[in-house]
Amino acid sequence: MIKIYYTTPEREGVEQIRPMLSLGGYRASNTVPNDEFGNLFGEITKLSVDKNKDEYRALVIKNEGSDPLVNVKLWFTYPEKSYSKFLIAAVQMSLDENNELVMEHVNTIYSRPMYAEFFEVNEEIDAVTIGNMAVGAQVGIWLKRVLNIDVITEDQNSNLQYDEQTKLYKEIPLETSETIGLVIDWQD
């Protein structure tokens, strides 16, 4: 069984109380609740579209089952029209001076990790393969959000609707969030 944890810059086992600041370092004590990745990245606002900066978050996956996992793979699933795409990088964790596993830590949500190679993994055919995970093994995972400016701009340019009753155009609010799934699969 794989559990997904937030990260913290302090030391292993410290709670990450602000999931948006899961920016690498050590495995935090708290896990990402199932189907609740939405708290990792903020809303897509006009300001975030205007800035159009890539954002990064880090997680740790850990095999907490009683058996090794074979051929672990990761990929994303998207809605039909998505305002963003995600890239993923799996990184090996190393031991620090206190013999605790640690991964690279970045200072801000816009800081790109230096030791991560990102891949676009749209559906299982493009999956990133981590390989086998022994019992207790941990792997660092970097997520990168890239805004799909073409789709956002298209929606912004077509978000007016004519109201027959008032004979005026009214603005249709654009989506500010979306659900994108991270799939983790392995063979028994």
Residuewise pLDDT in 10s, the chain (188 residues): 899 999 999 999 899 989 899 999 999 999 988 766 556 888 888 888 889 999 999 999 999 999 999 999 999 988 888 888 999 999 999 999 999 999 999 999 999 999 999 999 888 888 899 999 999 999 999 999 999 998 888 877 777 777 788 877 777 776 666 778 888 999 87
Q: Are 176 and 44 in contact (CB under 8 A)?
A: yes
The C-alpha atoms of residue 117 and residue 135 are separated, in whole angstroms, by 25
The C-alpha atoms of residue 184 and residue 75 are separated, in whole angstroms, by 7
87 Cβ partners below 8 Å, 6+ apart? Answer: 118, 119, 120, 121, 143, 144, 146
Beta bridge mates, 46: none
Q: Are 139 and 91 in contact (CB under 8 A)?
A: yes
The C-alpha atoms of residue 168 and residue 114 are separated, in whole angstroms, by 52
User: What pLDDT score does 94 carry?
Assistant: 95
Question: Which of 59, 46, 75, 83 has the alpha carbon at shortest distance from 179?
Answer: 83
The C-alpha atoms of residue 56 and residue 62 are separated, in whole angstroms, by 20
pTM of the model: 0.86
The residue extents of the domains of the chain are 2-187
